[in-house]
Amino acid sequence: MSGYISSEKDDSLAQELVSPLTAKRRLFAYGMNGLSLILSLLAFFPLGSILWEILSRGISGLRTEMFYRPLIENGFANAILGTILMVGIGAFLSIPVGIMTGIFLSEFGKTNKLTRIVRFLNSILTGVPSIVVGMFAYGVIVLLTKKFSAIAGGFALSVIMLPVIALTTEEALKLIPTHQRLASAALGGTRFQTTFRIVTKAAIPGITTGIALAIARASGETAPLIFTALFSQNWSDNLMSPTASLPVLIFNLYNNPDPEVSTLVWTTAIILLSLVLFFSLTSRLLTRKSRLN
């Protein structure tokens, strides 16, 4: 008798799943979809207006020689190279540490008292003003070496990038279903094998998104680089010398009343946005290829 009742319940449930939605529920779905579209357009409007303003003011100043001449020769190739160099140093220092921190918080430290401390410190670091990070890097690197340098700038950017990568990695790993971990354990996989071969591999898209966000934030930072890398009108001699960057270039030239200099500021902003877009698209492409393989 109980089996017959259970069979009737299953049949009714299946019937509900395949039956069309009622008019009330369809109206609610259409309303929510329309509201989501309107809110998305409202969120895109300020972003689109900023992009349009930058492009309309700076596109006229783009010249080919800007990409291979330093600032002293009316270009900003040294600032482009300096930005890529310091962001690369910051990524090199922060990505491994951030990913391993996120893995520890999500997979190995759930019942550990140290986890709460590390997560609390990460949360604090995400809210620390960038100028404070620059002062910290100044005290740790610049005062110790007696030099403004790309190394000091990259270190400051790594401190900014680290908590973003760690927290996004933790959240990406938490989204992986528990049954994948249990399936790996049932097949004889150890905890380390499950974490690094199953869970982390499945979370690569989310981890990559966090890395892209961290790089995007670091690419636009100005205050930490003023304290650490300073600026240079010409090519830098080495990693231990003052280094130019696009954000500091914009900061230095923004208040100049010369119209040509003002156009150069907006052109520099276009290049900076293009670099961030390039980093984001490259990370997405690499993630897609790894998933296909």
Residue-wise pLDDT tens digits, 135-181 = 999 999 999 999 999 999 999 999 999 999 999 999 999 888 888 88
> Which pair of tokens denotes residue 29?
């779905």
- Interval 231-249: pLDDT, tens: 988 898 889 999 999 999 9
**What are the residues whose beta carbons fall under 8 Å from the beta carbon of 101, sequence distance 6 or more?**
118, 122, 162, 165, 166, 169, 170
End-to-end CA distance of the chain: 52
Residue 10 confidence class, pLDDT cut points 50, 70, 90: low
Structure confidence at residue 198 (pLDDT): 87
Contact 166, 101 (CB under 8 A): yes
CB 71 within 8 A of CB 273: no
Q: What is the mean pLDDT of residues 214-238?
A: 90
Q: Smallest Cα–Cα separation from 154: which of 234, 208, 67, 215? A: 215
Specify the pLDDT at position 7.
Answer: 55
Per the structure block, which two tokens stand in for 195?
Answer: 């974490």
At 277, the pLDDT band (50, 70, 90 cuts) reads: confident
Number of other CB atoms surrounding residue 32 within 10 Å? 10
CA-CA distance, 104 to 191, in Å (whole number)? Answer: 12
Q: What is the pLDDT of residue 1?
A: 47
Rounded to two decimals, the pTM is: 0.82
Which of the four CATH numbers 3.40.250.10, 1.10.3720.10, 3.40.50.2300, 3.40.720.10 does domain 71-292 have?
Answer: 1.10.3720.10
Rounded distance, CA 276 to CA 63, Å? 20
More confident call, 26 vs 143: 143
Tell me the helices (H) and strands (E) count for the chain, helix number first.
Answer: 14, 0
Confidence grade of residue 122 (pLDDT, cut at 50, 70, 90): confident
Beta-carbon contacts of 1 under 8 Å, excluding residues fewer than 6 positions away, are none
For the chain, which residues make up each domain, given as ranges?
71-292
Banded model confidence at residue 4, pLDDT cuts 50, 70, 90: very low
